[in-house]
Amino acid sequence: VEAGIPEDDPRNPAAIADNVGDNVGDVAGMGADLYESYYGSILASMALGATAALSGAFGDMTEQMAYILASAPMALAGLGIVCSLLGVFVVRAKEGASFSQLLKGLHMGVWFASALVAVGAGVLFWLLLKDPAIAVYYAWWQPTLAIATGLSAGLIIAFATEYYTSYEHAPTQRIAEQTQTGHATVIIAGIAEGMKSTWAPLVVIVAAILLAFGFSGGNENFLLGLYGVGIAAVGMLSTLGITLATDAYGPIADNAGGNAEMTGQPPFVRERTDMLDSLGNTTAATGKGFAIGSAALTALALLAAYAIVVNVALVKKHTVNQWDTPLAQVGGADYDVSGVSTFKASRPDDGETVTLHLRNMGQGEFRLVAESGGTMSAGGALMLGSRGVVTGFGDICPQGSDIDATGTWDARNGSYSASASANGETYKFTLVPTDLATLQHMAAFYDISIMNPRVLGGLFLGVMLAFVFCAMTMNAVGRAAYRMMNECRRQFGLMRDKFRADGMSDEDVSDPMKWPTRTSINGVEYPDYQECVSISTAGAQREMVVPALLAIITPILVGLVLGVGGVMGLLVGGLTSGFAVAIYMANAGGAWDNAKKYIEAGHHGGKGSDGHKASVTGDTVGDPFKDTSGPSLNILIKLIAVVSVVFAGLVVHFGPTVQAALGLG
């Protein structure tokens, strides 16, 4: 714009960097993003499926159900590969086809692959769950409908994204119309349309979560409902082969247009590539919407997986082999627990009263030996109730001290209704063995509610993290662009001096379109495309160090300071705000880009007009929106979830100590 050179002109030193950036961002970057969502949803679904099977809801079929539910996500992924390959053969286009016909041709492949996956998933789960002994607990149609929900959600989000970003529809045309009144109104219109576009994906994801949860039996078995949400995410991503190919079409078409411009092809070639480029912008935008939606479902599944991993960490923390000696002193007496696994000994009968020997380990965690009819079980236990309940019990049994209690076993809830007497007072409470703790027990133990200031603090930190991460990536683009602009100005200055030295008139030097496409200065060919590519590559790697560290360190620090409840709040805050902001930025950027294409097609003054210059400003602002900050939020919401899962054991083991040292215990 500054030098008066077209975007893809060979005289522009940054032209090749632009093409390379399209490939890196919309092919390699998007592929890595979707791959992360894919394996994240598969692993989370496997963990949720195995946990649901081992929850005791499947009777004698527990082991078989664990294998089925854990292996189904991988089988579904394999099925999706085959269906995606078949979907490619459905894509057709005719010579002279319009924009809408070309778009429909690409969509046909995705729709066909999705339909095949839905049918194939039904056959797959029918084969896995056709045994009548299993079907009593979990029918084949339940996960099939959850998968169909995920597939439908992906298609609807893609359609909504297309509506808000394609110049065939009113939102982008309204942005193009605003170019007639200047640069500022273009920016305002793009921001407004981007914000408005968030409603559809948000409503669709909410509906998909509720439907998948209900179809999978979540109203009767909470873990099976979460498994349905996880398998819905796998279903949405099962057509990744053709979805990613459709998304990669965008930069391929864009680069084809750039190559046509740089090699001086006839105008009709550029007209065709412009049509394909605009189509590619729309498919790239729909791909981003699809990626963001799948990231949200994946992050939700990882959120449930985090609670499961916390439970496992608690069990390990209080296993018998972690106790001081095989002859453990609990309740003021020595008990030989060397042959006792963690709570693997016989349970009491439902309603049976037993003697409980307790050692208070702090913050509601206990070491427990339960004696009943000559049998003994040993391990950890959690006291359910508010912080006031736990603190009150600490008054009669301080941390590190022992107390005997009487407990009645509640087999339905997997807990002891216990009471202990001290100092003339009787204290009543509920104890849950750590290996039997459900997600509901974990939520009650860590007081994961909106009224808990730790959870609320984590929630606000999650929202803050999304916006700070966006700001850091936007500034990173600005700094790298500044360095590249200075490099372009330097090269333009050298080239002008060289042309003057070669005898070119000042009038011709002032018109870049009269410059030769290449010139040699001191043995170096100019424009020097490689230098611009190097600047952007090095800048991207350097600028992402701090944002990446922020995303990794924040969940760990929040976990150590605010505990498991704080981490859950962080994940929920990051997921909800990150999802909405990512949709807004991706759609606003795509709409700005296609508004420019709409004007270049001859509307509102066409190419070279003042309106076109305003649309270029919108497109320039939109690039970091749709290519940097928007997609990076997908990574953020999944990364903080994965980091939380990986470091759950650290938080469970050392979080109480850190919180006590800070006065938060």
- For residue range 388-398, what is the model confidence (pLDDT) as tens digits? 677 778 778 88
Domain annotation covers residue 176: yes
Query: Residue 426 pairs with which residues in a beta bridge?
Result: 421
The alpha-helical segments, DSSP class H, found in 318-421 are 387-396
* Lowest mean per-residue pLDDT among 96-100, 300-304, 515-519: 96-100
- Judge if 294 and 375 occupy the same domain: no
| 8-32 pLDDT, tens digit each | 778 888 888 888 888 888 788 888 8
pLDDT for 493-531, tens place per residue? 888 888 888 888 888 888 877 888 888 888 888 888 888
Closest CA to 296 of 528, 501, 80, 466: 466
DSSP 152-181: HHHHHHHHHHHHHH-TTSHHHHHHHHGGGG
Q: Tokens for 270, please give them.
A: 């550029």
Residues 156, 33 share a domain:
yes
441 and 527 belong to one structural domain? no
Please choose, from the candidates 373, 376, 369, 372, the residue with its C-alpha nearest in 3D space to the C-alpha of residue 431: 369
Q: Is 404 in the same domain as 262?
A: no
Amino acid at 402: D
The 8-class DSSP code of residue 29 comes to: I
CA pair distance 660, 507, nearest whole angstrom: 76
Domain annotation covers residue 148: yes
Q: What is the CA radius of gyration of the chain?
A: 30
Position 8 in a domain: no
**Alpha-carbon distance 536 to 480, whole Å?**
6
The CA distance from 406 to 353, in Å, is: 7
Q: E strands of 231-374, at which residues?
A: 327-330, 333-336, 353-362, 365-372
Identify the pLDDT of residue 346: 56
Asked whether residue 341 carries a pLDDT value surpassing 60, the answer given is no
pLDDT digits (tens, 9 = 90+) for 418-467: 988 877 778 888 999 888 888 888 888 888 988 899 999 999 999 999 99
What value does the mean pLDDT take over residues 366-372? 79
Where a domain ends, among 389, 416, 445? Answer: 445
Query: 49: number of CA atoms within 13 Å, CB side?
Result: 25
* 456 plus 431 within the same structural domain: no
Asked whether 157 and 290 are in contact (CB, 8 A), the reply is yes
Distance in angstroms (rounded) separating the CA atoms of residues 381 and 367? 6
At 336 the pLDDT is 61
> Is 314 part of any domain?
no
Which structure tokens are listed for 261?
Answer: 């411009």
Do residues 631 and 543 make contact, with C-beta atoms less than 8 angstroms apart?
no
168-177, 281-290, 429-438: range with highest mean pLDDT: 168-177
Q: Where residue 149 falls among pLDDT bands split at 50, 70, 90?
A: very high
Same domain? For 202 and 271 the reply is yes
Whether residue 406 is found in the same domain as residue 463: no
pLDDT score, position 324: 56
DSSP for 233-270 reads: HHHHHTTHHHHHHHHHHHHHHHHHHHHHHHTT--HHHH
4 lies in a domain? no
pLDDT (0 to 100) of residue 115: 95
Residue 157 lies in a domain: yes
- pLDDT recorded at residue 327: 46
Integer Cα distance of 239 and 114 in angstroms: 6
Mean pLDDT for the stretch of residues 397-405:
84
CA 168 to each of CA 103, 198, 282, 594, 595: distance values in angstroms, whole numbers, following the listed order: 11, 19, 10, 9, 10
Note whether residue 548 is domain-resident. yes
Pair 95, 132 in one domain:
yes
Q: Do 397 and 534 fall into the same domain?
A: no
DSSP 499: H
Block residue for tokens 């003994």: 376
Taking alpha carbons only, the member of 296, 295, 288, 277 closest to residue 628 is 288
The answer to whether residues 153 and 184 belong to one domain is yes
Of 392, 415, 445, the residue at which a domain comes to its end is: 445
Asked which of 445, 480, 508 is the last residue of a domain, the reply is 445
The answer to whether residue 114 sits within a structural domain is yes
d(CA 487, CA 526): 12
Residues 270 and 339 in one domain: no
Q: Are 436 and 548 part of one and the same domain?
A: no
**Domain limits for position 580:** 15-306+452-661
| DSSP element (H, E) containing 45 | helix 30-53
Give me the number of domains the chain comprises: 2
